[in-house]
Amino acid sequence: MRIVSIDYANGVFTTKGDNNPQSLPFEINVPSPSIRNKVIFSLPLAGYFDIIYIGWLVRIIIVYLITCVISQFVFKARRPPH
């Protein structure tokens, strides 16, 4: 959500969702105590890193976890009873 206008007299904000062409009814006249965060800095084009590299990282982690689970069952089946 982005703040698109501020009414200083009434202490309310008008917000708009990033993918909406205009503000929705619940995004108009938002009281100021409801706004809790502010942007400190931004990293332009950082989303491309997520698409390119994180996708591969997630796949590697999933394969690793599946391998660990399967190996636990295989080695557990091979252990002699105590």
DSSP conformation letters of 65-77: HHHHHHHHHHHHH
Structure tokens at 3: 């703040």
Backbone angles phi, psi at 4, to 5 degrees: -105, -20
| Nearest alpha carbon to residue 23 among 13, 33, 31 | 13
Structure tokens at 30: 């938002």
pLDDT at position 64: 92
pTM of the model: 0.40
Q: How much is the average pLDDT of 17-32?
A: 78
Backbone angles phi, psi at 17, to 5 degrees: -65, 150
- Give the integer Cα–Cα distance in Å for 39 and 2: 10
Q: How much is the average pLDDT of 14-19?
A: 81
